[in-house]
Amino acid sequence: MKIRTIEDIPEIKGKKILLRVDFNVPLEENGEVRDDTRIKESLPTIKKLMEEGGRTIIMSHLGRPKGKVDESLRLTKVAEHLEKLLKTPVKKSPEILGEETEKIIAEMEDGDIVMLENIRFTPEEEECEPEFTKKLAELGEIFINDAFGAAHRKHASTAGLAEHLPAHAGLLMEKEIKALSPLLSDEIEKPLTVIFGGAKIDTKIGIIKNFLGKADYFLVGGALANTFLAAAGYNVGESLYEKDKIETARNIMLDCEKRKEHFILPHDVICAEEISEEAQTLDVPVEDVMGDMKILDIGKWTTEKYCDILEKSKTVIWNGPLGLSEHTPFQKGTKTVAEFLAKHDCVSIIGGGDTADAIKSLGIDENGFTHISTGGGACIEFLSGDKLPGIEALKK
């Protein structure tokens, strides 16, 4: 995939650069940044622009304000955190567009950094409204998109600006595309194993269909597995599953069977009657689930089987935790598989979002994986073979 990168910009010094990043980070109750992974991932781009004398105007969203100003979702604390990481001033604008923003930008010098207010505080952003997009573009001379996590959205700040300004990929965006693109080619090292967890089938259908005929194994966990187990005729008790997706799940399994691909469901599961840190758990065969039992993790035997399959795999793609890993009693499946994969010599791609968060919170060495994507939904859509508006706008 040929895209325009930072290296294709003839001159950065003195240029006003609109930089879209994904600083949609979790916050503490007092507004302080709880996890700055996404901020750190874009530091190479910001530092390069700063060192080369660009005048960087940062745009990001935070949370889901639904087009209205939400005081708890202002980017002030995020700007302060970025300032600490860069050890250089970051001027925060109290608005997106307006006289104050124009004044702050007019006073910028080479190497300066300004952060606009939460770009989703106005409905025109998500609507990619033409007049708003045009006014936003007038703030800069070059548009750089480093927000892979928002690349699947056709918003003003992710795609619309490319209609008005020279558009280039930031270093993080370029890194994501380079890491994920080979998975869409015929040059994947096999055996290829795809691990699916999480809750919803809809978000995974595209990847499953795209890898039918390519993958050797599909391993399933999380609440997603409950829907497939129900479709296979098992009683899932009071477990979370999608009743309206039973037929979809059944068709996916039939497709895999026809293609002689191994679609593997849990053989045993961790069950509990309540979700808490003190929950009493049972490891039972799937056929023994009944009554008010809730399936909340894959069992010991299944975990070992999944690791056996991973051991002979050359490429692994993983999207979605295998259990309710934010609670200690239900994190062993995800933790064991992640620890095994981190030490295994193969191409390992972690599909962002909840999977990346789980790996980080479980204290597993992130350097053990080939690539951990910063985009959950974007990564899923990219690997589904879909065209992402934020990336299409950067193509040569």
Q: Chain-wide mean pLDDT for the chain? A: 95
Q: What is the mean pLDDT of residues 96-103?
A: 96
Q: How far apart are the first and last CA of the chain?
A: 9
Res. 232: pLDDT tops 90: yes
Q: What is the mean pLDDT of residues 142-153?
A: 96
In angstroms, the CA 349 to CA 277 distance is 30
Look at residues 219, 192, 160, 173 and name the one whose alpha carbon lies nearest to residue 378: 173
**pLDDT per residue as tens digits for the range 344-370:** 999 999 987 789 989 999 999 999 999
Res. 1: pLDDT tops 80: no
At residue 204 the predicted structure's pLDDT band, cuts being 50, 70 and 90, is confident
b/e burial code for range 110-143 (CB count within 10 A of at least 16 → b)? ebbbbbbbbbbbbebbbebbeebbebbbebbbbb
- Strand (E) or helix (H) holding 180: helix 171-180
Cα torsion at 369, 22, 54, 159 (round to 10°)? 110
Q: What is the mean pLDDT of residues 85-107?
A: 97
Q: Residue 163 burial by CB count (10 A; 0-12/13-18/19+): exposed, middle or buried?
A: middle
What tokens were used for 183? 């998975």
Pairing of strands 55-59, 347-350: unpaired
Sign of CA dihedral 52, 53, 59, 60: positive
Task: Report DSSP letters for 287-344, one per residue.
Answer: GG--TT-EEEEE-HHHHHHHHHHHHT-SEEEEES-SS-TTSGGG-HHHHHHHHHHHHS
Q: What is the mean pLDDT of residues 20-43?
A: 93
**pLDDT per residue as tens digits for the range 302-342:** 999 999 999 999 999 999 999 999 999 999 999 999 999 99
**pLDDT per residue as tens digits for the range 271-289:** 999 999 999 999 999 999 9
Res. 45: pLDDT tops 90: yes
What tokens were used for 270? 């961790």
pLDDT-wise least confident of 128-142, 164-178, 197-211: 197-211
Our separate counts of H helices and E strands in the chain read 15, 15
Cis peptide preceding 191, ω within 30 of 0: yes
Name the more confident of 321 and 396: 321
What are 263's strand-pairing partners?
218
What pLDDT shows up at residue 242? Answer: 93
**pLDDT per residue as tens digits for the range 186-200:** 889 999 999 999 888
Name the more confident of 170 and 354: 170
- Report, as residue numbers or ranges, the catalytic residues: 38, 200, 353, 377
Pairing of strands 294-298, 268-272: antiparallel
What tokens were used for 158? 């992710």
What are 315's strand-pairing partners?
192, 347
What pLDDT shows up at residue 29? Answer: 87
Q: What is the mean pLDDT of residues 255-270?
A: 91
Q: What domains does the chain contain, in order, with CATH numbers?
A: 6-177 (3.40.50.1260), 186-383 (3.40.50.1260)
Q: What is the mean pLDDT of residues 201-211?
A: 86
Look at residues 302, 303, 372 and name the one whose alpha carbon lies nearest to residue 335: 303
Res. 376: pLDDT tops 90: no
What pLDDT shows up at residue 187? Answer: 81
What pLDDT shows up at residue 354? Answer: 87
| Position 118, amino acid | N
Return the beta strands (E) in the chain as ranges.
16-20, 55-59, 91-92, 113-115, 142-145, 167-169, 192-196, 217-220, 262-264, 268-272, 282-285, 294-298, 315-319, 347-350, 371-372
The residue assigned the tokens 């039972």 is 284
What pLDDT shows up at residue 353? Answer: 78
At residue 148 the predicted structure's pLDDT band, cuts being 50, 70 and 90, is very high
Q: Is the pTM of this model over 0.85?
A: yes
What pLDDT shows up at residue 394? Answer: 97
What pLDDT shows up at residue 325? Answer: 93
At residue 377 the predicted structure's pLDDT band, cuts being 50, 70 and 90, is confident
Res. 206: pLDDT tops 90: no
At residue 201 the predicted structure's pLDDT band, cuts being 50, 70 and 90, is confident
